[in-house]
Amino acid sequence: DAGVTQSPTHLIKTRGQQVTLRCSPKSGHDTVSWYQQALGQGPQFIFQYYEEEERQRGNFPDRFSGHQFPNYSSELNVNALLLGDSALYLCASSHPDRGSNTQYFGPGTRLTVL
Amino acid sequence: GDSVTQMEGPVTLSEEAFLTINCTYTATGYPSLFWYVQYPGEGLQLLLKATKADDKGSNKGFEATYRKETTSFHLEKGSVQVSDSAVYFCALSDSGGSYIPTFGRGTSLIVHP
């Protein structure tokens, strides 16, 4: 049973550029959430996708957008990158309709903005 | 809003010592409580969870009991190993259906041989 996978592992960008991160959920999961984890901090919720729509959103600007595909995989896009966007970006999957509120995390994508 | 407070780290212990990492929470309703572990350079792994008051979650020798009266979910292990060195995150997830966990800031554990 494959767990949550993310790509790429590491990414280096410069200010003003755009980036796309990818996530495949755990088998059987239909809900994908994205988190930003700054160095020394806990993960902060960005948004959650279910049935190809954004279901919930945290306190992040519109520069952060996402997409979910029919196979439940997801992308996180960040436009006009700032130095402060440097962080570990975590994807988590779940299946709340099965009555479980446990989220399973991928290994993350380390984004460095120079 | 919901919040989680963890003890400041790093916690530094010798191998085979007893571990306690304190976690308290503020939430409306009856949240589920979680401990996640993050090893260096990796994502978060679910360590254990408890979904209602007085439940005890346990895994790999770690335990935590959901104490509603003290709004706490302290993590304990009787004898730590060097391989337990990691950052531990306490989290809660409300029971209202959003299932979005709120995380504490994490507590770094360093275990010396």
Contacts of A45 in chain B (CB under 8 A): 100-101
Long-range CB contacts (within 8 A, 24+) of B84-87: B84/B19, B84/B109, B84/B111, B85/B109, B85/B110, B85/B111, B86/B37, B86/B38, B86/B39, B86/B40, B87/B9, B87/B37, B87/B38
pLDDT, one tens digit per residue, over B41-89 is 888 999 999 999 999 999 999 999 999 999 999 999 999 999 999 999 9
- At B2 the pLDDT is 86
| Facing residue for A42 by CB, picked from B45, B49, B89 | B89
Residues B26-52, mean pLDDT to the nearest whole number? 90
B42 touches chain A (CB under 8 A): yes
Q: Which chain A residue's Cα is nearest to B45?
A: A105
Confidence of residue A98 (pLDDT cuts 50, 70, 90): low
pLDDT, one tens digit per residue, over A37-54 is 998 889 999 999 999 999
- At A10 the pLDDT is 95
Distance from CA of B46 to the nearest CA of A (A): 7
Q: Which tokens go with B8?
A: 């400041």
Interchain contact, A105 vs B98, CB within 8 Å: no
